[in-house]
Chains A and B, each alone.
Chain A
Amino acid sequence: MTLALPAQKEGRRTFKVDFSVPVLLTFAALLCVLILLPISWLVMYSLSEVDPATKERVFTLAQFRTLFSDPDLVEPLITTMIVAISSSVACCLVAAPMGWLVARTDMPMTKMIRALVTASFVTPPFLGAIAWEILAAPNSGLLNKLYRFLTGAEMDAYLFNIYSMPGLIFVIACYTFPYVFVLVANALDRIPGDLEDASSILGAGTWTTARRVTIPLVLPALLAGALVAFLQAMILFGSPAILALPAGFHTMTTKIWSLFQYPPKPELAAAASLPLLFLTVMLLRGQQMILGRKGYSIVGGKSGEPRLIRLGWFVVPAMAFVVIVLMLPVFLPYFALLNAAFSPIATNLVTSATFTMKNFHFTFFELSTTQLALKNTFILGAAAATIGTVLALVISYATARKAITGYRVLGFLATAPIAIPGIVLGVGLFLAYTRPPFVLYGTLWVLLIAYITIELPAAYQQLQSAFRAVHPELEDASRILGATRLRSLRDVTAPLLRTSVLATWCFIFVSTVRELSAAIMLFTSETKVVSVLIFDLKESGDLGAIAILGLSMLVLTFTVVIFINRLPGFGSSGLRNT
């Protein structure tokens, strides 16, 4: 690559060997392989088939013809759109007012509320979906039983039917609204009070200010949130597999997955993946265009604290709203899982007479895959988080400091996987790594690659914004004093970025542990992870074991996150950077 030339000149100025250029180039090459390899296989497969006569791969558009004419494939595509749009709208309707309440009003216990939203983010969506089955299956669901008990309704009367399109939309929204909430709340946090003060001085009332000033300022964030929610809903595999299949309909992700049943149709699966990929790219482009136009540059700097709106008596309905919203993804499902874990029958309330450790015993002492899956999940989570953070750190350094000429390409490559849904990446990686030169299928490596690729964009964006906040003059000082790029990165920048690095590490770890859609395409019996094991157990209806495993998974996640934040020399450091 010729990208390195200008940087090499720079290297000659000192007598020390500067490894930064080769290192950066290696990372660029690595990224190319990570992303381009599976995608090229995907495209190649979607446009070809094996000629039965010659056994050779020949070009064809047959897959795409099937894709857009076979109702078995068109219907899931339409369903997916309906589900994604509805749940995205639902997320915004709930998360926007909630974000506003938490960030801009004198609502009490906002820290607690934010923590609980984080808890709903940490909860894997498929686990939430299973918990909601226990709660709202039409006949055996706890809530429906309660409804019948309270109203004396007939045996088969029900209030909720989770095995339905609205049920699916609801559960997806439960676990995607944190994305919208965090974006909106952060944006509101950053809007300086000055603008609102100006509005008040000019005679606008509280509500007019909110309507005319605050809301327009936060719209881009809301839009971004809506988009993220849409994408999440579109690419989710677990929830539709758990809730849509029993109701008798497919979404695109479950359809792609079913195409791998024997005899597998990887070509058609590859072709079916591409609309998801295409749509994601288009939406992200659209978002950039909209946000590009509405670039309110007031956001930033350190002006007055945001002014909190007094809620007065309105605090009561506001609090009720927040509590209800948090019941849905956190309190109720966790209650259902705890109940199922220690009850002989998952959908009966546990009493002191029926309390049992049977499920616990079965999961940990009889189920022979538990240990393996927990071990794999832990190793993969820690490895993906560590490697992913380092990768994101180096790339965001290169782009934030424009360290090499090709930094834009590097930045683009690191963000590109955001457009690749997990299941699509799963298909691509399966095609890429089941054959020479890289036979990685069947090892933890292929899962590690998948996780790193999936989490890289978010990690990169987090760290890049952190880098922007650290002024380059500190690094320049270090370099003037003779340190190489890497050394100044290690000794100066990295310590300043501690908090962000830790946050990124934890983010990747949590996301890896809850990932299902890529893992479901890539696991083998020896490389099973907890999410896949839970999905397996779900298919045979072993709810007790699922509850125990799901809860242990949450405990593992929270323990690791807390432990990392308490590591000596990390987190507790006196250095701050905001």
Chain B
Amino acid sequence: MTEKKFARRDVLKGTTALAAAGMSGALFAQPARAQAPAAAAITPELIEAAKKEGKVVFYTAMDLTLAQRLGREFEQRFPGISARVERSGAERVFTRIAQEFSSKIYAVDLANTSDHAHVIHWKRDGLLAPYLPEEVVKHYPKQYYDPEGFQIVTRVLVSPLGYNTNLVKAEEAPKSFADLLDPKWAGKMVKAHPAYSGTIMNSTYQTARDLGWEYFEKLAKQRIMQVQSATDTPKKIALGERAIMVDGAGYLIIQYKEKGDPVDIIYPEEGTPVATSPSVVFKSAPNPNAGRLFQNWMHSREGQQIIVDFARQYSPHAQTVEKPGVRKLADIKLMKEDAEAIEKGAEEIKKRYSALFKV
């Protein structure tokens, strides 16, 4: 990262999406082409303009209850603007936007995906509007936003293992990905799908890179129950439908455990897959002001604290306060995210995956 003594503005121009997005290299070659937008506050004018539009349409890969909670809080905070939330898996959201845009349907104002590679696509195709909220510039570590304002990481997701504590004793629970290959877990595991979920696209890529595709080859022989969403696997183990979750939303396990469901989380020894989940505002937004207002508010301390308190996800906002009982992100051995590799290899990953798991 450019630690030289530039004025802040220069740093903003020169620095790009950094390691998290994995695309810094490509963009350093042509610096300062796009002007960094001025950091924006939530001004009365913005609110007024947003109210005139009256609604905001948010496509998101967030867990439905979180997405709706954010929508409702937003509606209460800014009366007169209704928030329409369209939730699906990140890969579905991406497909939907591509399909709608190619038919010249511009319904979406802003989107949140859990697959950072999507942002690379959208940015390259010139679909995004630059927008940088003041608080993001002030309180977000630089790896969590694009200095040109094309994306801001809304939450950091991990995809650990999980298990049902009624069905498996803590001491017998698997400790690593390798443990899952034990024949005693055959028919007892549930797994989400990389063609649906961005979190799982990340975890599939990272696991295959670190452990090799042979790992999945062996895992596929364990009679896995295949669901779609990373938010479904925690539900399946909470119901007791399967004992072990191979991948999925770690935050839901934390939520459910706090609620009293018989589930617990395991951070695998090989490392836990991670996905930064960015949000973007589209150039073609039918409600540009409301979209910006939502983007700004969602990344403010207020919005981010909901993500921590209600959803139990990791926030990039430096001022958010974590509740006790959750392992800090820094204390988890994480695998390395590589959005650029996924951007190039997504189709291949899906193909290999469906060849192994048959769906």
Contacts of A250 in B (CB 8 A): 358-359
B91 at the interface (CB under 8 A from A): yes
Contacts of B358 in A (CB 8 A): 248-250
- Closest residue to A523 on the B side, CB-wise? B96
| B195 lies within 8 A of A369 (CB) | no
| A524 lies within 8 A of B100 (CB) | yes
* Segment at the B interface, from A6-14, A205-213, A451-459, A533-541: A533-541
| A258 lies within 8 A of B228 (CB) | no
| A525 lies within 8 A of B91 (CB) | no
Shortest Cβ gap from A4 to chain B (Å): 37
Contacts of A439 in B (CB 8 A): 103-104
B321 at the interface (CB under 8 A from A): no
| B84 lies within 8 A of A245 (CB) | no
| B232 lies within 8 A of A539 (CB) | yes
Contacts of A537 in B (CB 8 A): 64
Q: Which B residues contact A (CB, under 8 angstroms)?
A: 57, 59, 63-65, 68-69, 71-72, 82-89, 91-92, 94-96, 98-100, 102-105, 107-108, 167, 187-188, 195-196, 224-229, 231-232, 235-236, 238-243, 346-347, 350, 354-355, 357-359
* Segment at the B interface, from A25-33, A56-64, A191-199, A360-368: A360-368
Contacts of A109 in B (CB 8 A): none
Beyond the given pairs A369-B84, A541-B229, 15 more chain A to chain B contacts, judged by CB atoms under 8 angstroms and listed by A's residue number, are A248-B224, A260-B95, A262-B91, A262-B95, A262-B346, A345-B239, A368-B85, A369-B85, A439-B103, A525-B107, A525-B108, A539-B196, A539-B229, A540-B87, A543-B235
A569 at the interface (CB under 8 A from B): no
Contacts of B92 in A (CB 8 A): 261, 539
A88 at the interface (CB under 8 A from B): no
| B239 lies within 8 A of A346 (CB) | yes
Q: Counting chain B CB atoms within 10 Å of each CB, which of A261, A524, A525, A537 scores highest?
A: A525
| A264 lies within 8 A of B195 (CB) | no
- Closest residue to A443 on the B side, CB-wise? B105
Name 14 A/B residue pairs within 8 A (Cβ), A-sorted: A139-B242, A246-B226, A248-B224, A250-B359, A260-B99, A368-B71, A368-B82, A368-B84, A369-B85, A439-B104, A442-B107, A524-B107, A537-B64, A539-B227
Those 6 A-B pairs whose CB atoms lie nearest each other, nearest first = A541-B232, A442-B105, A140-B241, A541-B235, A540-B229, A262-B95
Shortest Cβ gap from B257 to chain A (Å): 15
- Closest residue to A75 on the B side, CB-wise? B358
Contacts of B354 in A (CB 8 A): 72
| B59 lies within 8 A of A536 (CB) | no
- Closest residue to A347 on the B side, CB-wise? B239
- Closest residue to B234 on the A side, CB-wise? A541
Contacts of B96 in A (CB 8 A): 524-525
Q: Which A residues contact B (CB, under 8 angstroms)?
A: 72, 137-140, 155-156, 163, 244-250, 258, 260-264, 345-347, 362, 366-369, 372, 434, 439, 441-442, 524-526, 536-537, 539-543, 545
A540-B224 in contact given A72-B355, A140-B240, A367-B68 (Cβ < 8 Å): no
Shortest Cβ gap from B21 to chain A (Å): 19
- Closest residue to B261 on the A side, CB-wise? A345
Contacts of B355 in A (CB 8 A): 72
- Closest residue to B259 on the A side, CB-wise? A344
C-alpha gap A258/B224 in the complex (Å):
20
C-alpha gap A372/B55 in the complex (Å):
14
| A367 lies within 8 A of B104 (CB) | no
Contacts of A140 in B (CB 8 A): 236, 239-241
Shortest Cβ gap from A204 to chain B (Å): 55
Contacts of B63 in A (CB 8 A): 540
C-alpha gap A140/B241 in the complex (Å):
5
- Closest residue to A537 on the B side, CB-wise? B64
| A245 lies within 8 A of B85 (CB) | no
- Closest residue to B88 on the A side, CB-wise? A536
| B231 lies within 8 A of A369 (CB) | no
C-alpha gap A163/B227 in the complex (Å):
11
C-alpha gap A368/B85 in the complex (Å):
6
Shortest Cβ gap from A494 to chain B (Å): 40
C-alpha gap A539/B92 in the complex (Å):
11
Shortest Cβ gap from A28 to chain B (Å): 29
| B228 lies within 8 A of A245 (CB) | yes
C-alpha gap A343/B63 in the complex (Å):
20
Shortest Cβ gap from B86 to chain A (Å): 4
Contacts of B100 in A (CB 8 A): 442, 524-525
| A366 lies within 8 A of B72 (CB) | yes
- Closest residue to A434 on the B side, CB-wise? B103
| A246 lies within 8 A of B225 (CB) | yes
Contacts of A368 in B (CB 8 A): 68, 71, 82-85
Shortest Cβ gap from A438 to chain B (Å): 12
Contacts of A367 in B (CB 8 A): 64, 68
Contacts of A366 in B (CB 8 A): 65, 68-69, 72
C-alpha gap A247/B27 in the complex (Å):
44
Cβ 8 A contact of B227, one of A246, A258, A262, A347: A246
C-alpha gap A542/B89 in the complex (Å):
13
Shortest Cβ gap from A80 to chain B (Å): 15
Contacts of B229 in A (CB 8 A): 539-541
C-alpha gap A540/B346 in the complex (Å):
21
Cβ 8 A contact of B87, one of A156, A345, A536: A536
| B88 lies within 8 A of A539 (CB) | yes
Q: Counting chain A CB atoms within 10 Å of each CB, which of B91, B167, B235 scores highest?
A: B235
| A245 lies within 8 A of B242 (CB) | no
Contacts of B102 in A (CB 8 A): 434
C-alpha gap A389/B307 in the complex (Å):
50
| B103 lies within 8 A of A441 (CB) | yes
Contacts of B167 in A (CB 8 A): 155-156
Shortest Cβ gap from A245 to chain B (Å): 5
Shortest Cβ gap from B158 to chain A (Å): 18
A261-B231 in contact given A366-B72, A525-B96, A542-B64 (Cβ < 8 Å): no
A442-B103 in contact given A246-B225, A367-B64, A541-B229 (Cβ < 8 Å): yes
Contacts of A137 in B (CB 8 A): 239, 241
Shortest Cβ gap from A445 to chain B (Å): 13
C-alpha gap A364/B191 in the complex (Å):
30
C-alpha gap A537/B88 in the complex (Å):
8
C-alpha gap A345/B256 in the complex (Å):
12
Shortest Cβ gap from A63 to chain B (Å): 17
| A264 lies within 8 A of B236 (CB) | no
Shortest Cβ gap from B92 to chain A (Å): 8
A263-B347 in contact given A250-B358, A536-B88, A542-B64 (Cβ < 8 Å): yes
- Closest residue to B236 on the A side, CB-wise? A541
| B65 lies within 8 A of A541 (CB) | no
Contacts of A260 in B (CB 8 A): 95, 99
| A248 lies within 8 A of B359 (CB) | yes
Cβ 8 A contact of B228, one of A263, A345, A372, A539: A539
C-alpha gap A278/B311 in the complex (Å):
50
Contacts of B242 in A (CB 8 A): 139
| A163 lies within 8 A of B68 (CB) | no
Shortest Cβ gap from A251 to chain B (Å): 11
Contacts of A442 in B (CB 8 A): 100, 103, 105, 107
Shortest Cβ gap from A536 to chain B (Å): 6
C-alpha gap A163/B187 in the complex (Å):
12
Contacts of A434 in B (CB 8 A): 102-103
| B95 lies within 8 A of A261 (CB) | yes
Shortest Cβ gap from A537 to chain B (Å): 7
C-alpha gap A246/B243 in the complex (Å):
15
- Closest residue to B193 on the A side, CB-wise? A245
Contacts of B57 in A (CB 8 A): 525
| A249 lies within 8 A of B239 (CB) | no
C-alpha gap A72/B224 in the complex (Å):
19
C-alpha gap A72/B359 in the complex (Å):
9
